[in-house]
Structure 1
């Protein structure tokens, strides 16, 4: 049997295992191990399993993941996220749909410490959804704003998606973090524009909030200062070259813990819970990296990336036509897989094609993350939609999916702008590292 055929059968087995609800990490690990055994014998399969498992866990750059997860968990337990949301609401809540816009701003700010889409949606959703319900916001707009705003956690640094992408492609984590800043701010602005358009068409969907005096606005901004300081120090330190991303993650986590205890915003029990949640989440992410590292040698042996490149070239679609096919495949996969699963399965296959087409790998990392974000709010999976639905409690799933539609259009606009103007993603990293 041809190696390429075995590779295709391996993918069939991989998706079959995931359909059977096998965790994606173990689905990749089993497919890679038995695929290498079939092609190159048990000894080679065992050697790959041992060496790749050790190299994945021993990867110094991967320390970024548990440190930033700990930072986000402690900040959430300490209630710092509430301060961010209250400050945002004080400044934009008087506008039509202002509470939804404040939720998006809160999501963007919390994304800068959590690195997780789900954590961002849950944390801000618990604070914002009851308030929007109290003020009579339409359930579609309120849940849609949180579900879409949560996706910013996958784009705004310290994005877990960028860390995994960097490890899979051997690109710079620092460059990827910096590349996500302007696209993240652009997407936040487009989300707020989408809210304005929705409320322009239906004012009842997002009534204006109460006017807040300037003195109170600054007082609320002062309450949000602890988390703002952490964001400025950790992300600003990377930009100024004071810290590497790994060092910034450690400094940010330590600073958040110190501020949480200094302000008496957290007790030992809550801190212990945050640590255990960090260990659980980090273990899952480490297993995904291990699974990807075992699957990748199998794909190399079968020649699947080269076969895909040859097949796409045979279609004669040209550079951007081929890119469009790759992006469309992400949209389709996003209907069935979560973001990290898409990333670890597709990047080893698509990355050689992207390099052959001459695209900047940092730019493509941003593009891939945005398309994967779209999958987080599209049916039938739409992981963020299900998360927000659970937080909201009494809102129908169909209502949430309808609510995210304007934000999905905003994400498509953001995607096209970055494709047309690559410097949106590349300006900051190129100015720093060149």
Structure 2
């Protein structure tokens, strides 16, 4: 059997394993290890497993993953994320759809702490769903805005999606974080516009909430101030050149822990809960990366990425058409595969094509991460939708998917804007980092 047939068989087996819900890391590990064993020998597979596991585990750049995850989990267990929501609600809660707008703003704030879309959706779902139900919000809007708002966690820095992309493509984490700011704010604005339009067209979707006095607004804003200062210091420190992304993750985690202790909200039990959750999430990410570094050499041995790359590069069409085909592939795959799985499986194939076409890899990274976000709310997988379902157990899954569709369309419009105007993503990294 030729290498191409072996590679194609391996990909088919991988997709079957993912469809039957085998964890992504284990599925990629099994196919990559077995594939190298078949194409080379057992010693080669064992040697690669040992060397890649050590290389990934000892990578200093990956320290940002557990530390930013810990920062977000500590903020969650100490109620800091709830205070972000309360502050946002005090400002916009009195207008039609204000609770939904506050949820979007709260998701954006928590995204700047955790870098995780699933964590953002779960945390803000617990915080905001009861409030929106209390004021008779349509459950399509209340669930849809939480699921969609949670996707901001993978785009607004710090973002685990950008970190993984940087590791896989050897790009600068700092430049990617900078590149995500304006697209993240653009997507935030599009989500808020979507809420406003929905509530204007269908007033019953989001009734007005009670007004907050100036004193209440000041008190709620003061409660969120420590969290906002942590975000400004960690993210601003990276962009100001005070410290690297790795150092920023340590500073952010340390500050959140210190604030929790000083406020009396973080005891040993809560810290242990946050630490355990962070360990599980970090271990999952590390397993996916190790598995990716097994399956990528297997695909390279089969020459499938090279053949596909040569085919796409040789197409007699404009480079933007090739980019459109790649993004369309991501949108389709997002209906069936988890985001990190798509990232590690496709980068060896698509990234060389992008570089050959002369496209900016930082801009491409922003586009890819945005399409991964869209996969988080795309049927039938839609990880964030199932996360929200775990919080809103009484809402049928079909209504949640119906609720996220206007936000999915808003994300598609945002993607089109970023494709048409690359400088939205590139202006900050190109002007602030030489």
TM score, norm. by length of structure 1:
0.98
CA distance in 2, matches of 1:297, 1:25: 15
Q: For the Cα contact (< 8 Å) 2:362–2:426, is it kept in 1?
A: yes
CA distance in 1, matches of 2:361, 2:313: 19
Q: For the Cα contact (< 8 Å) 1:179–1:366, is it kept in 2?
A: yes
The runs of at least 4 consecutive aligned structure 1 residues that moved more than 6 Å come to none
**Partner deviation per Cα, 1:377-400 (whole Å, 9 max, x = no partner):** 111111111111111121111111
What SS class does the counterpart of residue 429 from structure 1 fall into?
helix
Question: Match for residue 405 of structure 1?
Answer: 405
Q: For the Cα contact (< 8 Å) 1:6–1:302, is it kept in 2?
A: yes
Question: Match for residue 225 of structure 2?
Answer: 225
Q: For the Cα contact (< 8 Å) 2:313–2:357, is it kept in 1?
A: no
Q: For the Cα contact (< 8 Å) 1:77–1:270, is it kept in 2?
A: yes
**Partner deviation per Cα, 1:231-254 (whole Å, 9 max, x = no partner):** 011111001010100000001001
- In the TM superposition, residue 314 of structure 1 has moved relative to its aligned partner by 4.8
Question: Match for residue 281 of structure 2?
Answer: 281
Unaligned runs of 5+ in 1: none
CA distance in 1, matches of 2:10, 2:318: 29
CA distance in 2, matches of 1:186, 1:20: 36
Question: Match for residue 325 of structure 2?
Answer: 325
- In the TM superposition, residue 315 of structure 1 has moved relative to its aligned partner by 4.3
Question: Match for residue 84 of structure 1?
Answer: 84
Question: Match for residue 179 of structure 2?
Answer: 179
- In the TM superposition, residue 106 of structure 1 has moved relative to its aligned partner by 0.2
Question: Match for residue 207 of structure 1?
Answer: 207
Q: For the Cα contact (< 8 Å) 2:108–2:153, is it kept in 1?
A: yes
- In the TM superposition, residue 141 of structure 1 has moved relative to its aligned partner by 0.7
Q: For the Cα contact (< 8 Å) 2:161–2:369, is it kept in 1?
A: yes
Q: For the Cα contact (< 8 Å) 2:114–2:153, is it kept in 1?
A: yes
TM score, norm. by length of structure 2:
0.98
Residue 255 (str. 1) matches residue 255 (str. 2): yes
CA distance in 1, matches of 2:367, 2:105: 22
Question: Match for residue 356 of structure 1?
Answer: 356
Matches within 5 A, 1:103-252: 103-252=103-252
Residue 62 (str. 1) matches residue 40 (str. 2): no
CA distance in 1, matches of 2:60, 2:315: 41
- In the TM superposition, residue 19 of structure 1 has moved relative to its aligned partner by 2.5
Q: For the Cα contact (< 8 Å) 2:180–2:366, is it kept in 1?
A: yes
Compute the RMSD of aligned alpha carbons. 1.1
Q: For the Cα contact (< 8 Å) 1:4–1:307, is it kept in 2?
A: no
Question: Match for residue 97 of structure 2?
Answer: 97
- In the TM superposition, residue 279 of structure 1 has moved relative to its aligned partner by 0.8
Q: For the Cα contact (< 8 Å) 1:89–1:98, is it kept in 2?
A: yes
CA distance in 1, matches of 2:111, 2:63: 18
Matches within 5 A, 1:12-23: 12-23=12-23
